[in-house]
A and B are shown apart, each in its own frame.
Chain A
Amino acid sequence: MASDAAAVHSNSYETYLDYKGKHKGIFAWILSTDHKRIGILYMVALLSWFLVGMALGGLIRLELLTPGRTIVGPQTYNAFFTLHGVIMLFIFVIPGIPAVFGNFFLPIMIGAEDVAFPRINLLSWYLYIIGGILIILAIFLPGGAPDTGWTFYIPYSIRTSTNMIITLTAVFLLGFSSILTGLNFITTIHRLRAPGMDWFKMPLFSWALYATGWIQVIVTPIIGITLLLVIIERVFGVGIFDPALGGDPILFQHLFWIYSHPAVYIMAVPAMGVISEIIPTFSRRTIFGYKFIAYSSLAIALFGSLVWAHHMFAVGMSDSAEFIFSLLTFMVAIPSAIKVFNWTATLYKGSIQLDPPMLYSLAFIFLFSIGGLTGIIQGALSVDIHLTDTYFIVGHIHYVVFGTAGFGIFAALHYWLPKMIGKIYNMKTAKVAFWITFIGFNILYFPFFIMGWLGMPRRSYDYLPEYQVYHVISTVGSWIMISGILLMFYNLLKSVYTGKRVTERNLWGGETLEWTVPTPPPLTNFEKLPDVTVGPYEYKQNDIEVEEVK
């Protein structure tokens, strides 16, 4: 495949960035059905929202610097942590990698010209944007920002006077957008693979997106109907969840977690796919256990959909239900560990280059291990009774969601952004930003485990003085991490405007198809449709051709 690409000389093509369609200016973007432009549209929106979510997170930490009131009152604080959760989860990490990098690279990686349904792809971006606008409205309209926490637990979410209906509608639309993306990717992978690209020659990122697509399609409708029922409950008072009318709030929790637990895998599995691309590229080794990694994505999708009630061990389920959910929770650790072991085995005797994408990937493995193991701790019934609703779970969620999905997005940004825009960031600054972010992350979130173990309740506005030392450490960590992330964003943004131009196709020596097309990719991706004969990570066969391309 690389030899074909090398035969066609570059610079004789129009990139997707230069392409002049029938629309001008911003409309050339927001009316474009090109998967690459939609990917960029998502990226701009997602990263802007990330900055908003991060600012809110920083404010939460600042408020908790001292017991009692520090900067805001309790109602504002409740709105802060609710919005931080809603924005970071539903607007940033759940669309996250699939919407940005999946859109941009999935078709290229499997040798297609676009996704299966380009117009539906654009529609899902619009639904995403409308969802985001509704969240903004929910903050500023009279009634006040939502204050229920991102879990919208009944009965408070049908009693509070804040703008719940708008918020729930927003999350409903974001879910719809997510379904359409998943549906699109599943169909793309089934129908649009290039000649010779059989299932086991697909890059692992495509496998991850395939598994994610199924999770999105299977579980997202459940949150859709659940939130719709809460809206109906608020408007008409039908009583399906309202205990005052005979409804059962615990059923809401079941339905909510039937979606929201697998949603963790909607966030994490694509990030694992990114890591499975970066690790072989930067250790110059064939990925160890290709099929195991591919199947473990599907296994995570399967087991992950059956463990939701471990979020509810303390609500009073039957012992046998708790036992089964606890056991299934432990079983998710198996496919997750398969991935971690395969990544580390890939590193073994590899020729490792510590470029920024690799640093983020190694951090990913480290943080995911801590996040995963603390998950196991809470999966144990007796321990969970002690840890439920404490900062331990807050630490766990941040290690898992931010440490994997968040760092996965950062890794993917450093790996693929130069390919997307044809300009490269400053390596040295990127490495400095990485270390600041990584160290700040651990200073920020690790104390959560300790104070959680000591009993500090989550979502609490006030706390006893003995917890203050941990809160102070954590808040200082938040300042370090935020400065690291701002430096990273500055570096990436600067590269967009004044970055060094790159024209070589294969920036990092990767072996997947996106490195065989020109940088930035042409409008229809390939000069001619690739005919795939070797697997995605076969460095020995392809090494020489890669050099030619460079």
Chain B
Amino acid sequence: MSTQEHTAVAHLHRDDVRSRMGMWLFLFTELILFGGMFFLYAVYRFLHQADFHVAAKSMNILIGTVNTAILLTSSLTIALSIAALQNKKKILSLILQGITVIFGLLFLVNKYFEWSAEIHHGNYPGSPELISQSSGHILFFGLYYVMTGLHGLHVIIGMVVIMFMMRFTIKDVITPDHIVKLEAAGLYWHLVDIIWIFLFPLFYLIT
């Protein structure tokens, strides 16, 4: 029996597969969380096709497209930051992580202007203009604010997480050999990206 040597503590033994598995399970729960809203969207779209059609036309496709480009690029920069650190280029990795955070910020700034414009037009929950519209119209904007709002919250969380990763990288907690934390943060950022890739066509493109 070879267990004599194993008296060491199993849980102190590093296991990157375990960390990744935990992260994937967590991302899975996030997908289901958003899945609940996509389910509601599907039902209401089916029930109010004409209203959704009209309401989606009033969305600003330009801002939506720019934001899609920003998020897709930021997914690239976070992936490159992992690759950079794996190649022992710490400074480059830090710069790329920083760029990802800046892209996240740009996305939110755009979102802010977009929401302000909609609110200015009276398209916000409970506004007299919106209440007077058909129920499909109300539901479209209700879902729009809730889904993009919750997505925006995830962008903020992702930015905070990546800022922590930058700190860890500076302090050499994350190194080319101990990179699993940065990988997990990257996975989270990709999730944020993927959800947006579905939100964009559902609210802006399908008219």
Contacts and interface: CB of A to CB of B under 8 A. Distances in A.
Contacts of A251: 40, 43
B25 A183 contact: yes
A245 B22 contact: no
Interface string B1-37: 1111011011110010110011001101110111111
B176 interface: no
Contact of A239 (B11, B18, B28, B138): B138
A65 interface: no
B18 A237 contact: no
Nearest to A241: B40
Contact of A117 (B1, B7, B22, B36): B22
Contacts of B39: 255
Contact of B22 (A4, A183, A219, A524): A183
Interface size class of A (residues with CB under 8 A): 35 or more
A229 B139 CA distance: 13
A255 B47 CA distance: 17
Contacts of B26: 183
A186 B25 contact: yes
Interface string A220-240: 111011101100100011111
Given A221-B33, A225-B37, A226-B36, A238 B9 contact: no
Contact of A240 (B3, B21, B131, B139): B139
Given A246-B138, A524-B9, A240 B40 contact: yes
A527 B3 CA distance: 11
Given A246-B135, A246-B136, A221 B1 contact: no
Interface stretch (A108-116, A484-492, A494-502): A108-116
A179 B27 CA distance: 12
A236 B126 contact: yes
A428 interface: no
A218 interface: yes
Nearest to B22: A187
Interface string A506-532: 000000000000000000100111110
Interface stretch (A9-17, A189-197, A388-396): A189-197
A504 interface: no
Contacts of A190: 18, 21
Interface centre among B2, B40, B126 (most CB of A within 10 A): B40
B69 interface: no
A112 B11 contact: yes
A238 to B, nearest CB: 4
A228 B146 CA distance: 10
Interface in B34-69: 34-37, 39-40, 43-44, 47-48
A88 to B, nearest CB: 25
B43 A528 contact: no
A238 B32 contact: no
Nearest to B12: A113
Contacts of B11: 112-114, 116, 118, 192
Nearest to B135: A246
A346 to B, nearest CB: 31
Interface of A is mostly: helix
A409 B135 CA distance: 48
A247 interface: yes
Contacts of B18: 116, 187, 190-192
A222 B40 contact: no
A225 B147 CA distance: 11
B143 interface: yes
A236 B32 CA distance: 23
Contacts of A232: 146
B200 interface: no
Nearest to A179: B29
A86 interface: no
B115 interface: no
A248 interface: yes
A236 B143 CA distance: 12
In the A-B complex, the 3 residue pairs with the closest CB atoms: A246-B135, A238-B142, A225-B36
Interface of B: 1-4, 6-7, 9-12, 15, 17-18, 21-22, 25-26, 28-30, 32-37, 39-40, 43-44, 47-48, 125-126, 131, 134-136, 138-139, 141-143, 145-146, 150
11 contacts: A113-B9, A116-B21, A117-B22, A187-B21, A191-B17, A192-B11, A220-B29, A221-B32, A221-B33, A246-B48, A247-B135
